Structure 1
Amino acid sequence: MSTIVTAASGQLGRLVVEALLARGAAPESVVATSRDVSKLADLADRGVRTAELDYTRPDTVAAVIGAGDVVVLVSSDAVGQRVAQHAAVVDAAKAAGAARVVYTSAPKATTSALVLAPEHKATEEHLAASGVPATVLRNGWYTENYAGEVATARESGVVSASVGDGRVASASRRDYAEAAAVAALDDSTAGRVFELSGDHAWNWDELAEAVAGITGTPVRYESLTPEQHAERLRGAGLDEGTVGFVVALDGNIRDGLLAETSGDLRALIGRPTTPLVEGLRAASAE
């Protein structure tokens, strides 16, 4: 049996491979996959098996997955194409007789109004219909999503958003990757859904304080209306689709859709999640 990690050349997938090795998985039992295998050369040098796997080419997916394998399906970043891409992996896992699929989904994917939820909902439904045993990890927000605020606020002294008093229970990408490794190595997680998030739901005043602690300069939160936010994004040259997405996401945060602190992530990884300022400091140093 092998543990197969999709998108292992990406930010989350690579960390999942690292976490598997740190948790004692033998390198030869791990298969790191990517569209571009050359990006996995350093992992191959450490004894990890590597293989081509392209979500858009089902033949490459079928060639990698075998009977009894555990497949860590790291969700695609191709918004609008995810369902078909994920289905290719699920279908190949079913055809091969894989032992389990571990899927990185979105918070409350089947019921949430979160702008990102529909494709994850469809994937979860396809996975359930396939009959392949599954562990669903509904990843909350990544602290690294706000690393750009550090550089911006260093110059402007401001973090701006239209989230109102909304809160985000973020965690570091490494926290979520470690949870995926734990789930992949623990068969008792089969059939379970985990709502993963950080231990603390912070607001934008706290974000400003954290950024100020990193930059060493005063930083304040500027609360925008959705209309003001959209106009500012247009002024920065963003296209209408991106403007609509960003403003809608801030609306989701304003409505509390990323604020839940379930404790599932902390329980899975066996330690507290990475605090906001620590996660931002690490991300801004990369």
Structure 2
Amino acid sequence: MNSSPRPTALSEGWAAAAATLRAYPTLLRIYWARTLEYRIQILIWILSGAVPLVMLAVWLSMAQEGPVGSFDAGTFVGYYLAAIFLRRMTGVWIVWDLNRDIRTGGLSARLLRPLHPLHYDLARTLASRPLQALLVGPPIALALYLYPGPQLDLAPVNVVRVLLATFLALLLEFFFQYAIGLTAFWTSQAVAFHEVWFFIKALGSGYVIPLALMPEGIRSALSWTPFPLMLSFPLEMLLGRLPPDRIAQGFLAQILWLAVAVSLVTLLWRLGIRRYEAFGA
């Protein structure tokens, strides 16, 4: 009689999670090589992010007569140049791919792979970050060095905090965009939903206008949304404008909103894949 213990659901779950994590180094290498093939497309995306430069020119013209709130000319330069870099590090463009695969039936082939399709999309997103950092980082660092006035908090402990906050911001953007993309199971308007999301996020994250310069009522309302956590939080931390208590609150809020986003993706996937398979896609 075989007395060996039978695997429990928990042990099987841990084994599956470990197998998924072991697959990530390979996935990252594959998608890093693929990213290099599309470096020109990435460069075009980078150059298209001219909105902060336009806003920087507007604020600098106003700052010639004196500080605007707590921002002087140097602070504006540091803010918007850092915003451009962090936006490249946290930006995600997954909605179009999901919408296409779901609408055209391309998802069927992806379901035959050993891992959940989300892991391939996440690995592809993560693999593109180093190239974007190499393309955007040096010219921005040079501009910050040459322009007098910008002040960044580059203390090692703060740099680590900024890196962690930026990574969590990337995950927030990824999972919320993934949730939007999954609405393609029910509607053909997933891309339109994303355009609305992008417009609100551009304003609510501080990408267009620093949140510190917005009216108190708007800032208070935005504090209940995930948008400031996707850019403004790591950005203001990099500028050294956040006290320790707000940094702790920001990390806690990022984790809570990430749990919401992951739960939303899980729910939409389960409901959507049933509908997808029911229609024989």
TM-score normalised to structure 1 length: 0.22
The structure whose residues are more often helix, as a share, is: 2
Structure ID, larger Rg: 2
Query: Relative contact order (C-alpha < 8 Å, sep 6+): which is higher?
Result: 2
The structure whose residues are more often strand, as a share, is: 1
